[in-house]
Amino acid sequence: MTKKITPDPPIVSKTLSTADRSIYLRKLSDNPSNGPESVPINPPRLLDTLAFTCAKPVIPEAPYKPTLFAIQPGINAQDALSYVSNLLETAELNGDEISLHTNPVERALFWGMLHSVEVARAVVDALLEGAAPSNQLSSRSGQPVD
């Protein structure tokens, strides 16, 4: 009979949701010792710690021409990120249509770019969902559900 030298790893069910897994992994990485875990009382929301937007023109092709579009000052981070999510969703939808009409070489390059847009949108949506647990976000539009 042989003796087992290493202990069994913690049991992680394959049926855990992504949120449960992330909580489990966060606890493991945040709490390397076996001491009690301290939880701050009413931690600030991530989006509350960010600054508001400042006025910024959308640069035209020719810098000597006046700009037609500009970022408005005083927009909070949640509203700005929601708008970015909507822009990225539009880019995804347009990209899906455009990719059908390109040659195979261009299509491969385009799919790489489209994947970057999808990942960027996923990051923005994850920030919005993680920062505002009380406002349920719809998975399609990034807008709060009523």
Q: In whole angstroms, give the CA distance from residue 86 to residue 96.
A: 15
Contacts of residue 114, Cβ cutoff 8 Å, sequence gap at least 6? 91, 92, 95, 96, 99
Reading the block at residue 120, the tokens are: 């960027």
For residue 31, being part of any structural domain is answered with no
The verdict on residue 142 lying in a domain is no
Q: Please tell me the total count of domains within the chain.
A: 1
Model confidence over 46-55: pLDDT tens digits? 677 777 888 8
Q: What is the pLDDT of residues 108-141, one digit of tens each?
A: 888 888 899 999 999 999 888 877 654 444 444 4
**Per the domain annotation, does 2 fall within a domain?**
no
Q: Is residue 56 part of a domain?
A: yes
Tokens of 90: 């539009």
103 in a structural domain:
yes
Q: What is the DSSP letter of 144?
A: B
Beta carbons within 8 Å of 68's beta carbon, 6+ residues apart: 58, 60
In a domain, 11, yes or no: no
Residue 145 lies in a domain: no
Please give the structure tokens belonging to residue 140. Answer: 């399609």
Confirm whether 16 is domain-assigned.
Answer: no
Containing domain of residue 93, as a range? Answer: 41-131
User: HSE (CB half, 13 Å, CA atoms) of 136?
Assistant: 3
* Per-residue confidence (pLDDT) for residue 145, from 0 to 100: 45
- CA–CA distance from 75 to each of 32, 40, 61, 80, 123 (Å)? 39, 28, 25, 6, 20
pLDDT tens column, 33-88: 555 556 667 766 667 777 788 888 888 777 777 788 888 889 988 899 999 999 99
pLDDT per position as a tens digit, 103-113:
887 888 888 88
